[in-house]
Structure 1
Amino acid sequence: MLKETVSNERQPKPFNVENMDESYVLPQYRVDLRRLSEKEYNKFIKRNTVSDWSLLSWKDIGRPYEVSKYSKERTDWEKQVNRTMDPHTAWTYFNKSFHEWFVKDVPEEKTRGKREFLKSLQSFKPKEVKHALGDLIKLQLCNYVHRIQDGIWDPRGKRALFEGLHLKKPRILFLGAAEGYEAMQLGAMYPGAYIVMVDYDEYCKNTRFAEFPDSYPFLGENPNTGQWKITYKEDLNIEYIVDDIRNLDFGKEFDIVLSVGLLEHFPDEYKHEVADWHRRFLKDGGYAILTTPRNQLRSRLYYNVMADVMNHTYRELMTVEQMGLYMYESGFDILRHGYIKVHNGLICRPR
């Protein structure tokens, strides 16, 4: 059941079990409390397409697709300082740009964008027309991917990837956490979790995470009844650390080490280091969970049109087979793999 709303002015906890199996399109994002039917599951989620990872080779599956179109912010910065933008600066630019688009009030922005486009037509200045039209196209595409399709958060797909780990009160470490969405979803699915989020850009903690809507509902489990339960950000036990992953002094103390959109930002010669970060903090028997954006035509189009918003850093698009082979060759057994709307997902464990 889909309901369109025109305002996000709600109480902090506006959803309860009476809202189960409903979906709401709010001005900035979608709330989706629907559970997947068998037909929907088979349409949106493909799991375990590889039966034996030891038989897979790079010759069979090819290499990831490198996104080569960078944002104007990055190219202008590099011209000004006459050197390649370093990763920390690139992530700082990306996080700010991405968040500013992510939190737009879409109905209001669409009205403003159309007004600006019509105004630019009256100016007879091609540059103004091109700029206004470009912003309007970006807004429409961002709206479709995030707010209509819910491809970025995709709670139903990610619950399907993350389910069935048989964990009680797990310790979860989220590497490169940004706003922390996936760790919060895991925290709702595995009640009593203690979550440590890590990102070396303090903007992620102070803005992206801090401004994540308190009213957003995560669908999980009530440990007392085994029934579905709605959990909010404030219900979760979260610590947010601003630091470089390489500086962390944790031992092997986490049941889950999670990364979302991390592996694909490193060229091949550094991917083994990313795998080692997951191994380094895992308890014996713990799970490494990773997702990356899928290599598909729609994703290539998205990163091309949204280049000024998204492409400040090195980035690849992968198939789930490519992603899994990187981790398999780095000493992990792939316990579960699959892909959802716009992401690949792995659950793996060090051999």
Structure 2
Amino acid sequence: MLTQERVKDVKNHPYSNQHIGETAKLPSFRMDLRKYSEKEYNKFVTLNTVRDWSQLNWKDVGRPYEVKSKSKEKKNWEHVHNQPMDPHTSWTFFNKAFHEWFVKDVPEETQETKQQFFRSLRSFKIGEVKQALGSVVQLQLWNYVHRIQDGIWDPRGKRALFEGLDVNKPKVLFLGAAEGYEAMQLGAMYPGAEIVMVDYGEYCKTTRFAEFPESYPFLGSNPSTGQSKVHYKDDFSIEYVVDDIRNLKYGREFDIVLSVGLLEHFPDEYKHEVADWHRRFLKPGGYALLTTPRNQIRSRVYYRIMADVMNHTYRELMTVEQMGLYMYESGFDISRHGYIKVHNGLVCQPR
């Protein structure tokens, strides 16, 4: 018989090294322990397209695309309060809306939204029909982007961007950590990492991170064997700090400073300050890792359809050239850059 502890372990850690190479669609997300084949790698990962960053200028690369559509919550709040929504409220609304989608049982919700749509047709009320149809479209898009394509977490693409760093048991600082996914992926790739996650809102610590599934498997390495290994959330050493990044008292003590979807939330006049947040806490020779959503037609459509979920804050879509030029002009050398399914990525170091 299985002991109670063994049953709990199997439930929380359902995948082992024997599952490496497998993938499966689960109710809320995709688990993916595959590595890219050479053909797939070239299809989904494009790296180092710029030979000399000093030769780029804004006339050549153009400006980022600003997402103008706003969520209904944001518009209603601003109408009631007769003022722009403040940043803290914006992030609170966004994180709650985003998390509600991450925890959806997609097959079950799909069935319910379709039934709701058919009921709305019988009502002959155009408003109800439009709302129900909108819910169906949103859920189908979320299912495709997150659960089928795994474009938001994109573990294989993130590993391709983050591999090969010259670090051993690194100290990692994640700025704007939300649920902390990418820092945990780094923890799997570079075992023994000490991870500090920082976010503006208590909700990110107590809900988004706290409810990140214990059963999600991260493909990483086993330093004792040099082979691949499956890791889980409770394998990592993590401290979660709720604070404004500008208030952090850390010194230059981190091997890696990471941000995911942070730079694009600030207009140009603040981007150099965002770049400095990455420099301020790095050890000499440390790495700044950044990703932003790509400026592509699919992304523009996504942020239009999912406006009520995504668009509570200022947001831009960029090319990797635009993203890299911001960091290059802010005193960073770009050691690796590229784009994966829906994100741009940079690995850079202060000059």
TM-score under structure 2 length normalisation: 0.97
- Cα distance in 1 for residues equivalent to 2:178 and 2:310: 14
1:154 maps to which residue? Answer: 154
2:194 maps to which residue? Answer: 194
Q: Secondary structure at the match of 1:11?
A: helix
Cα distance, 1:166 vs structure 2? 2.4
1:170 maps to which residue? Answer: 170
1:206 corresponds to 2:206: yes
1:112 maps to which residue? Answer: 112
1:278 maps to which residue? Answer: 278
- Cα distance in 2 for residues equivalent to 1:200 and 1:190: 26
- Cα distance in 2 for residues equivalent to 1:259 and 1:289: 6
- Cα distance in 2 for residues equivalent to 1:118 and 1:331: 56
Cα distance, 1:33 vs structure 2? 0.5
Q: Secondary structure at the match of 2:12?
A: coil
Q: CA RMSD in A?
A: 0.9
1:167-316 alignment runs, 5 A limit:
167-316=167-316
1:72 corresponds to 2:72: yes
1:3 maps to which residue? Answer: none
Cα distance, 1:239 vs structure 2? 0.2
- Cα distance in 1 for residues equivalent to 2:340 and 2:101: 23
Cα distance, 1:103 vs structure 2? 1.0
Q: Secondary structure at the match of 2:153?
A: coil
Q: Deviations over 1:225-245 (max 9, x none)?
A: 010001000000000000000
2:323 maps to which residue? Answer: 323
Is 2:197–2:239's contact at 8 Å kept on the other side of the alignment?
yes
Q: Secondary structure at the match of 1:178?
A: coil
- Cα distance in 2 for residues equivalent to 1:80 and 1:39: 53
Q: Match of 1:20, as an amino acid?
A: I
- Cα distance in 2 for residues equivalent to 1:166 and 1:228: 18
- Cα distance in 1 for residues equivalent to 2:17 and 2:222: 11
- Cα distance in 2 for residues equivalent to 1:14 and 1:166: 31
1:101 maps to which residue? Answer: 101
Q: Deviations over 1:117-144 (max 9, x none)?
A: 1111111111111111101100000000
Q: Deviations over 1:45-89 (max 9, x none)?
A: 000000000000100010000000010100110010000011111
- Cα distance in 1 for residues equivalent to 2:348 and 2:70: 32
Q: Secondary structure at the match of 1:284?
A: strand
- Cα distance in 1 for residues equivalent to 2:266 and 2:28: 31
- Cα distance in 1 for residues equivalent to 2:77 and 2:336: 41
Runs ≥4 in structure 1, deviation > 4 angstroms?
Answer: none
1:134 maps to which residue? Answer: 134
1:21 maps to which residue? Answer: 21
Q: Secondary structure at the match of 2:255?
A: strand
Cα distance, 1:105 vs structure 2? 0.2
Q: Secondary structure at the match of 2:211?
A: coil
Is 2:117–2:133's contact at 8 Å kept on the other side of the alignment?
yes
Is 2:20–2:230's contact at 8 Å kept on the other side of the alignment?
no
Q: Match of 2:49, as an amino acid?
A: T
In structure 1, runs of 5+ residues without a counterpart are 1-9
- Cα distance in 1 for residues equivalent to 2:297 and 2:34: 27
Cα distance, 1:12 vs structure 2? 0.5
In structure 2, runs of 5+ residues without a counterpart are 1-9
1:58-69 alignment runs, 5 A limit:
58-69=58-69
Q: Secondary structure at the match of 1:338?
A: strand
Q: Match of 1:215, as an amino acid?
A: S
Cα distance, 1:168 vs structure 2? 0.7
Q: Match of 1:114, as an amino acid?
A: K
1:30 maps to which residue? Answer: 30
- Cα distance in 2 for residues equivalent to 1:302 and 1:239: 33
Q: Deviations over 1:196-219 (max 9, x none)?
A: 000011100000000000000000
Q: Secondary structure at the match of 2:69?
A: coil
Cα distance, 1:96 vs structure 2? 0.2
TM-score under structure 1 length normalisation: 0.97
- Cα distance in 2 for residues equivalent to 1:132 and 1:53: 48
